[in-house]
Structures are given as C-alpha cells and as structure tokens.
Amino acid sequence: MQNFASEFSRATQLVLTGDPDLWAIVVLSLQVSVCAVLISAVIGMPVGAALAVARFPGRRALIILMNALMGFPPVVVGLLVYLMLSRSGPLGVLELLYTPTAMIIAQTVLVTPIIAALTRQVVELLAEEYSEQLRSLGVSRLASVPTLLWDARLALVTALLAGFGRAIAEVGAVIIVGGNINHVTRVMTTTIALETSKGNLALALALGAILIGIAVAVNAMVSALTLRAEQEGLRHA
Amino acid sequence: MFRAVFTSALVLFGIVANPAAAEEAFIIVQSTTSTQNSGLLEFILPGFEAETGIEVRVVAVGTGQAIRNARNGDGDVLLVHAKPAEEAFVAEGWGIERRDVMYNDFVIVGPRSDRAHIKGMTDAAAALTAIANVGATFASRADDSGTHQAEMRLWQNAGIDPTAASGTWYRETGSGMGATLNLAAGMGAYALTDRATWLAFANKGDLAVLVEGDPRLFNQYGVILVNPEKHPGVRAAAGQRFIDWLTGPDGQAAIASYRLEGEQLFFPNAR
C-alpha cells in the first residue's frame, strides 16, 4: 500500500499551487455539472409543478415512474446517449459524441427526474396550503404553477443541490459519452477512475477528497445565498 | 438571484459548447488502456501535434470495445492489439488497411508464494495448466480485450476451458487491466497482463512477474484507418497523416525512446 499521507499532500499541493491540468479538470467538472443542473431545472421544475397541481388519469403512474427514474443507472443513461450520438445513431451528424456537450446531455437525463420529483413534492404541499386563496382569486390550477414555483423557490434550492450532487459524483455516464479524453472531456470522476486503473490508489483517493471539498464549497455557497434571501424576505414582509 | 444564476448558466454553456464546435483540426483515436496507462501516448503525441497542428483525442478502452466503437464510426483511427480481430475488422470493410506499429509482450504475474510453482517457467500454457491443476485463483479480464483474447488462446493451447470453473478459482472481473491487477493484488491471484501496463502499475502489492519469454506471449499492436466509405464523417486525411507518422521514422523513433524507470516498454516494428 502506498503512503496515503504523502499522496494526499501531493494532490493538495497540485490544487493549491494551481496546477493548470488539475484546475482545468476541476473547472470542466463544474461547468458540465452546473450546466446540466440548470437545464434540468428549466425542464424539471415546470414538469414537476404541473404534475403537482394537474389532475388527470395516469397521473399517479407518471409520478411513480418519475420517482423511479431518480434511480436510473448512470451506465444505462450513458449507453442510451451514446447510441443516440454515435455516428451510427440518429443524431450522429451533430458530431457531439466525446464532447463536453454530450456529457451535459447525459447528466441532464440523470438529473431532470430528480429535480422534477422533488419539485412535485414541494409544490404539492404548497398548493394544498394555498388552495383556498388561489380558488378565491379564480386562478386555474395550471396558471398557478409560476406563482407556486416562485413561492417555493427557497425549498427548491435543495432540489437543485440534490441534482448537482448526483451530477458531479457520477462517472458511468460521462466516461462513455465523454471518452475521458485528456484536456477535452476529462473530469474529476473519470480522472479518479483512470488513476485507480493505473494503481495510483492514494492519488485517486486524494482526488476524491478534493471532489468532496468542491461539493462542500458549492453547498456552502448556495446555503449562504439562500440564507440571505430568506433574511431579505423577512425584512420585506 | 435567479436571473444572475441563469445568465451565468448561459455564459458557462457558451464556454463549454464552443471549443467542440470551433475546433476542426483533431482526430479521435480509439485505443487500448495499455497505450494510455503506460504513458506512451502522452509521451509521443505532442511531437505529432506540434508537427502537424492536428490534435489527437484518445479514447482508451479495451480492444474489443475500441473495435466496436470504431465499427460504429466513433473514431477515425484504431490503435489496438488483437491481430485476428483487427484483420476481421478490415476484411469486413470497416477499416482500410492494417499496419504493424510496435510490440511488447505479455507476462503472467502472481503472488510470491506461488502456490502453482510456475516461477521461471517459459511455457505459458504449461503454467496455466499448473494453475488450473492446483485450483489457484486466477483473475481474468473477461472483457474481450486484446489481453483477454490472448489469454483465451493460451487456455486453448493448454486444452483447458477455465470458464467452467468461473466463480471458483477462475475469477472473471469483466474489467480493465488496471482493475483486474488491483483485484489480483488484493486477493493474491495470478493474472495475464501486458508488460507496459504492469511496469507502469503502482499497486503491485505482493505480485511479481513469474512467467515470461514464451513466443506465444508476443503482443503486437496494429493501426487501422476507419473506412470513410462506411462512415462519411471519418476525418480520413488527418487520420492517414497520423498513421503515416506513427509508422514512419519519426513516430517509430518516438516509440523506441519512451522509457519508464529506464525500461523500454514498446518496440517499434512497422514495415
């Protein structure tokens, strides 16, 4: 077994001294996952909110399906996106395979069900609370979706963070559609997989610790923003 | 706050989406983990990129998967090590022509305690027979990679079907060379590996090279241009330039000069 302490200090040093290769990998990881989460939010939040307030046959089944898709295996998503983007696939002409865009697409497929399902839950509770008021104002169920989403915004931050956690941590999908190409599609998780396969277990573990550090930093930042928004909300009220 | 987040999203997306669209001077090489994990490609590619301005993007997977990806058109050049499968790839029209690039050899590694007493043997098939006879744990790639195909040929030479013992002493990892070596190191198992990956591997633990030198352990690498008639998107001109460089004097010299801890890992033999 290698000396974990020395490898860890080596990895920390790489970050602190601004090793350009490692920083590029960290930045690309954040770009891909943040993009995926934002696109997922644009799709997932309205869908989740609509499912929360609409009443139609099959709604229950759709909600169950959406909840189940939260556990969609990343490797399967990677394969599906690969088959779509391959030159032999229907979208091959777009030449998107082995690009960061392909990785964003794969992570969006993974994250959208999470954000939609969590939004559905948050908005459904809020809609019950508001139902009297909305009815008295004569607002239809679907027309109330933007209002409900806006009022639930602070609770929905948690949905975004859950989605981000899933995106930044997964390796199965991005390694298939990104190809782990150096300086092009190599992100934190695929680097960890690569170092593990080289037998550099301590370095891989140290990179994992850095990845956790990034996740903590992002969560802390969002938490600070949310707290400030809450306080502003109280002052205005 | 939400508007600010959205704007930064658009900026982020712009940054991410643009490089792929703007850059055209690159090729995708479907290759094997051994050429990447050993550090060879990282060592030789900058020379080609500086000379031609063509960026080489390497997707490193097992040979079986690399060939399937190339068959789907998801690569311009194939650089792998399973000659029969490569020749079939060309014969079926998926590739233009196969050229030899370089060689090294496979070795059988195992724990120093060596329960099957194969240390020093030069007959690889006999060594496998000894392992099977005592039922010592053997970790197999079982992933249709070049190394796995070589391993299966050796078992055939030995007249043994190890898959009958799968789950007992014969462990099919279904993973890459590195993952399989990690497993072998962890459970004290025997394994077949290419020498380049072995020398670059950092988690050897108690494992050591026990069998080497059998001519059947010869490991030849070949390069093939994916047929642009099958997949019009193939960057044939740039891909051919890379193949010509790799099999020409500059590429061959670069391969020969790569050393890891003083040892040469690949021996150029293009004709």
B7-35 residue pLDDT tens: 555 555 554 444 444 345 999 999 999 99
Do residues A79 and A11 touch, judged by C-beta distance below 8 A? no
| pLDDT score recorded for residue A2 | 52
| pLDDT score recorded for residue B13 | 52
Q: Residue B57 is nearest to which of A88, A96, A98, comparing CB atoms?
A: A98
Contact A100 B16 (CB under 8 A): yes
From chain A, the residues in CB contact with B16 under 8 A are 28, 31-32, 35, 100-101, 104
Write the CA distances from A36 to A107, A175, B12, integer angstroms.
6, 16, 11
CATH number reported for the structural domain that contains residue A214 in this entry:
1.10.3720.10
Contact A104 B15 (CB under 8 A): no
Do residues B253 and B241 touch, judged by C-beta distance below 8 A? no
Residue in chain A nearest B234 by alpha carbon: A87
Q: How far apart are CA B139 and CA B190, in angstroms?
A: 6
Rounded to the nearest angstrom, the minimum Cα separation between A131 and chain B is 26
Rounded to the nearest angstrom, the minimum Cα separation between A203 and chain B is 10
How would you label A79-109 residue by residue, b for 16+ Cβ within 10 Å and e otherwise? Answer: bbbbebbbbebebbeebbbbbbbbbbbbbbb
Q: What are A1-29's pLDDT values in tens digits?
A: 456 677 777 777 777 777 888 889 999 99
Do residues B53 and B35 touch, judged by C-beta distance below 8 A? no
Contact B33 A197 (CB under 8 A): yes
| pLDDT score recorded for residue B251 | 97
Range of the domain at A205: 4-236
How would you label B87-101 residue by residue, b for 16+ Cβ within 10 Å and e otherwise? Answer: eebbeeebbbebbeb
Domains located in chain B, CATH noted:
26-103+218-268 (3.40.190.10), 106-217 (3.40.190.10)
pLDDT by position in tens, chain B (length 271):
445 554 555 555 554 444 444 345 999 999 999 999 999 999 999 999 999 999 999 999 999 999 999 999 999 999 999 999 999 999 999 999 999 999 999 999 999 999 999 999 999 999 999 999 999 999 999 999 999 999 999 999 999 999 999 999 999 999 999 999 999 999 999 999 999 999 999 999 999 999 999 999 999 999 999 999 999 999 999 999 999 999 999 999 999 999 998 999 999 999 8
Contact B176 A38 (CB under 8 A): no
Rounded to the nearest angstrom, the minimum Cα separation between B20 and chain A is 6
CA dihedral sign, ordered A141, A144, A149, A151? negative
Rounded to the nearest angstrom, the minimum Cα separation between B238 and chain A is 16
Q: Which of B72, B180, B227, B260 best tests the A interface by mutation, with the highest count of A CBs <10 A?
A: B72
Contact A199 B202 (CB under 8 A): yes
Q: Residue A198 is nearest to which of B16, B37, B57, comparing CB atoms?
A: B37
Select from A105, A228, A42, A102 the least CA-distant residue to B9: A42
Residue in chain A nearest B179 by alpha carbon: A197
Contact A104 B16 (CB under 8 A): yes
From chain A, the residues in CB contact with B178 under 8 A are 196-199
| pLDDT score recorded for residue A135 | 81
Concatenating the DSSP letter of every residue in chain B gives -HHHHHHHHHHHHHHHHHHHHH--SEEEEEEEHHHHHTSHHHHHHHHHHHHH--EEEEEEE-HHHHHHHHHTT--SEEEES-HHHHHHHHHTTSEEEEEEEEEEEEEEEEETT-TT--TT---HHHHHHHHHHHT--EEE--SS-HHHHHHHHHHHHHT--GGGGBTTTEEE--S-HHHHHHHHHHHT-EEEEEHHHHHH-S--TTEEEEE---GGGEEEEEEEEE-TTT-TT--HHHHHHHHHHHHSHHHHHHHHH-EETTEE--EE---
Tokens representing residue B117 in the block: 């007493």
Contact B231 A98 (CB under 8 A): no
Q: Residue A2 is nearest to which of B20, B59, B202, comparing CB atoms?
A: B202
- DSSP bridge pairs for B140: B172
| pLDDT score recorded for residue A13 | 79
Rounded to the nearest angstrom, the minimum Cα separation between B164 and chain A is 28
Average pLDDT over chain B, rounded to an integer: 92
| pLDDT score recorded for residue B1 | 47
Q: What are A89-113's pLDDT values in tens digits?
A: 999 999 999 999 999 999 999 999 9
The count of structural domains within chain A is 1
**Parts of chain A with a pLDDT under 70:** 1-4, 236-237
Q: Residue B202 is nearest to which of A31, A34, A200, comparing CB atoms?
A: A200
A182: CB partners within 8 A, 6+ apart? B42, B58
Contact A199 B182 (CB under 8 A): yes
| pLDDT score recorded for residue B19 | 44
The complex's ipTM? 0.84
| pLDDT score recorded for residue A229 | 83
Q: How far apart are CA A86 and CA A83, in angstroms?
A: 5
CA dihedral sign, ordered A65, A67, A68, A72? positive
- Residues of A near B (Cβ–Cβ under 8 Å) read 1-2, 28, 31-32, 34-35, 38, 86-89, 92-93, 95-101, 104, 153, 179-182, 184, 194, 196-201, 225, 229
Q: Residue A198 is nearest to which of B9, B200, B231, comparing CB atoms?
A: B200
A to B CB pairs, distance under 8 Å: 99
Q: Which of A81, A181, A192, A232 best tests the B interface by mutation, with the highest count of B CBs <10 A?
A: A181
Helices B124-134, B146-158: axis angle to 10 degrees equals 80
